[in-house]
Chain A
Amino acid sequence: MTTAGQDEAPDGANGGSLAGRYYGRGIPYLPIEGYPGKLIAIEGTDGVGRTTQIQLLREWLEVKGYGVVETGWTRSPLMQPTIEIAKSSNTLNKLTFVLLYATDFADRLEKEIIPALKAGFIVLSDRYIFTALARAGVRGIDRSWLRSLYGFAIAPHMVFYLNVDVKTLIGRVLASRGMDFWESGMDLKHGDDIYDSFRAYQNKLLREYASMGDEFNFRTVDARRAVDRIQDELRRQVAAFLEGIEPPPAKPDL
C-alpha cells in the first residue's frame, strides 16, 4: 500500500473523477467532457531528467501503437518572444511573470493540448502547471489565488513527479550544463553566490513540489536512480493505466 501507484483506483485514473476535466471554473466556451485523449504530465525540477524520460516514453508508446503529442512549458509561439524579452531585461514584477506564464499556458492548452485530447492522442507534458505553482509559490504569490488562476487547466490523468534531492541535483546540473540565473533563483536575491543560491532555491522548490503531492495526486518516482530504472517504472504504471482504458491496437507478433 505504500508503493507509488498501488493505492490508485482500479482504472488508474488520477484521483478518479477529476482527470480529464477542468480543475476549477474552466473555459465555458470549450466543453471538454468525454474527450478520448489522455493527458500525462511529467513534473520535476530543473535538471531532473524529465525530457529524457519523455523521449523514451514516447518511443515506447508509439511502438505500441498509441498516437503521442508532446507539449512543454513556455513554448507557445504567441508568448515565447515576450517571455524571452522579459527574462533578459529582468524588469518584470513577479506577479506579471506569473500572468505571462499563465497566458502562455492558456495558448498551448487551447491550441495544442485540447485539440490533441479531442483527437484521441496521449499528450505527454514536459512540466505542467505544478511548475508554475511551485515557482510562484516560493516567490510569495498567494497560493489560493494561483489555484483559481489555473482553474482553467485540465487535470491530467497521471502526474509523475520525478523526485530528487538537492545534492544529487547539483551533481547532475554541474556535470551537464551548469547553473543558470533563473534555475538558481538569483532573482530572489539570496546572495551573489550562484551555488548557494541554487541550493537554497532548489531546496525551497522541492519542498513546494512535495507539498503539492497529495493535493494533485502526484505519483512520486525516485529520480536518483538510473535512467532505465526510472523508465521501467513509468512504463509499468502507464501500461497499467492504459490497459484498463484503451488497450494497444494489437499484441506484438514477436
Chain B
Amino acid sequence: MLNTLTQPHEYPGKLLVVEGIDGSGKTTQLGLLAKWLIAEGHRVFITEWNSSALVKAATKTGKKKNALTPMTFSLLHATDFADRLLYKIIPPLKAGMIVLADRYAFTAFARDVTRGVDRGWLRELYSFAVRPDLSLYFRVPIEVSVDRLMARRIKLKFYEAGMDLGWSANPVESFRLFQGKVLEEYDRLVDEFGLQVIDAAGSITDQQRLVRAVVAPIVNARATEPDMVAVGEDV
C-alpha cells in the first residue's frame, strides 16, 4: 500500500499529471492533450484536484467560516486525494486507461509547505499515492501568472491567494507573495520527483507541441488491454 509515490506502478494504464500555479496555463494544456489523445483512439479519464463530493462539503464549511488552519487545509486535501485516488484514479488505471490529473500530490507539497506544514511529514502523508508515469510542471514567472489572471478578470480566491496567511490584505499582492513562495517549492520538487519542466511563458501551441512530444513515447508504450480471464483461475 505504501511508498508507491517513489516506485513505478504496475497498472496497465498510464497516469499523466500537470502541475503549476494558477495562471500557468496547465488546465488549457491538459485540455488540448486530452483532445489529441482521444482523437488518437485512447481512452482518457480526467480528474481534478479538490473535486470529490464528500470533502467538498467540509472544505466549503471551512472556507466560509475562514476556519481552516494550514494543517486542516492540508489534511482535508489529503482526504480528498485519497478518496479520488481510490475511486477515480486507480480503477481507470487498472482498466488500462490514460488518467490525466489536473494537479497531484505535488500541489500539496508546494502549497502546504509554503503555509508552514512540515516538508517531511507531507511526503510521508502522501506515500500512499501512485507514482505518475509523467509529471509536467508548467513553470511561469509570477508576473505572467498575475497578468493572465487579471486579464481574465478572475476574482482571486481566498486560499489560492494565501489570504489565510495574512501576509497582505490586498488579494493581488497576497497572491504574488504566496504563489511566489509556492514557485520556490515547486523548483525543489523538479529534482526530487523528476518533474518535466515546460516553459509556460511560451505560446500555447509551442507548449502543446512539446507536451505531445514527451507524452507520445509514454502512451505508445502503453500495455495492452488487461487480461479478461477471471481472477483466481489457474491456467
A residues lining the B interface (CB < 8 Å): 24-29, 77-79, 81-82, 85-86, 91-93, 95-96, 99-100, 102-103, 106-107, 110-111, 141-142, 145, 148-149, 151-152
* Known A78-B61, A78-B67: A148·B54 in contact at CB below 8 Å: no
**Are B83 and A92 in touch, CB under 8 angstroms?**
yes
* Known A25-B121, A107-B69: A82·B58 in contact at CB below 8 Å: yes
Return chain B residues, CB-CB under 8 Å to A29. Answer: 70, 115-117
Question: Given known contacts A27-B117, A96-B54, A99-B79, what 9 new A-B pairs fall within 8 Å (CB)?
Answer: A27-B71, A27-B116, A81-B58, A82-B57, A85-B54, A102-B75, A103-B76, A103-B79, A142-B2
Return chain B residues, CB-CB under 8 Å to A26. Answer: 118
Return chain A residues, CB-CB under 8 Å to B116. Answer: 27-29
* Known A96-B79, A96-B86, A148-B125: A82·B71 in contact at CB below 8 Å: no
**Are B127 and A110 in touch, CB under 8 angstroms?**
no
Interface residues of B in 124-143 (CB under 8 A from A): 124-125, 127-128
Return chain A residues, CB-CB under 8 Å to B128. Answer: 95, 145
Residue interface bits B75-93, CB-to-A below 8 A is 1, else 0: 1101100110011000000
**Are A28 and B57 in touch, CB under 8 angstroms?**
no
* Known A92-B83, A96-B79: A152·B55 in contact at CB below 8 Å: no
Return chain B residues, CB-CB under 8 Å to A152. Answer: 71, 118, 121
Question: Least Cβ distance of A128 to chain B in Å?
Answer: 17
Return chain B residues, CB-CB under 8 Å to A142. Answer: 1-2
Alpha-carbon distance between A24 and B118 when the two chains are bound, in angstroms:
10
Interface residues of B in 63-116 (CB under 8 A from A): 67-72, 75-76, 78-79, 82-83, 86-87, 115-116
**Are B54 and A81 in touch, CB under 8 angstroms?**
no
Return chain A residues, CB-CB under 8 Å to B171. Answer: none
* Number of interface residues, chain B, beta carbon within 8 A: 32
Return chain A residues, CB-CB under 8 Å to B62. Answer: 78
**Are B124 and A106 in touch, CB under 8 angstroms?**
no
**Are B79 and A110 in touch, CB under 8 angstroms?**
no
Return chain B residues, CB-CB under 8 Å to A79. Answer: 58
Return chain A residues, CB-CB under 8 Å to B1. Answer: 141-142, 145
Q: Which residue in A77, A111, A145 is a CB contact (below 8 Å) of B2? A: A145
Return chain A residues, CB-CB under 8 Å to B86. Answer: 93, 95-96
Question: Least Cβ distance of A226 to chain B in Å?
Answer: 40
The residue on A at minimum CB distance from B1 is A142
The residue on A at minimum CB distance from B84 is A96
**Are B54 and A82 in touch, CB under 8 angstroms?**
yes
Alpha-carbon distance between A240 and B127 when the two chains are bound, in angstroms:
42
**Are A99 and B75 in touch, CB under 8 angstroms?**
yes
* Known A79-B58, A85-B57: A148·B82 in contact at CB below 8 Å: no
Q: Which residue in B72, B76, B82 is a CB contact (below 8 Å) of A110? A: B72
Return chain B residues, CB-CB under 8 Å to A77. Answer: 67
Q: B232 near A: Cβ within 8 Å? A: no
**Are B83 and A93 in touch, CB under 8 angstroms?**
yes
* Known A25-B118, A93-B82, A103-B76: A82·B55 in contact at CB below 8 Å: yes
* Known A86-B54, A149-B124: A100·B71 in contact at CB below 8 Å: no
Q: B202 near A: Cβ within 8 Å? A: no
Q: B120 near A: Cβ within 8 Å? A: yes
The residue on A at minimum CB distance from B116 is A29
**Are B118 and A27 in touch, CB under 8 angstroms?**
yes
* Known A99-B78, A149-B125: A106·B69 in contact at CB below 8 Å: yes
**Are A145 and B124 in touch, CB under 8 angstroms?**
yes
Return chain B residues, CB-CB under 8 Å to A107. Answer: 69, 72
Return chain B residues, CB-CB under 8 Å to A151. Answer: 121, 124
The 9 A-B pairs with the shortest beta carbon distances in the complex, nearest first, are: A29-B116, A103-B75, A99-B79, A148-B124, A82-B58, A25-B121, A25-B118, A106-B71, A96-B83
Alpha-carbon distance between A24 and B125 when the two chains are bound, in angstroms:
12
Return chain B residues, CB-CB under 8 Å to A149. Answer: 124-125
Complex A-B: 28 CB contacts under 8 Å = A27-B117, A28-B117, A29-B70, A29-B116, A78-B61, A82-B61, A85-B54, A85-B57, A91-B54, A92-B54, A92-B83, A93-B82, A93-B87, A95-B86, A96-B86, A103-B72, A103-B75, A103-B76, A106-B69, A106-B71, A106-B72, A106-B75, A107-B72, A145-B124, A145-B128, A148-B121, A148-B125, A152-B118
Question: Least Cβ distance of B109 to chain A in Å?
Answer: 14
**Are A95 and B82 in touch, CB under 8 angstroms?**
yes
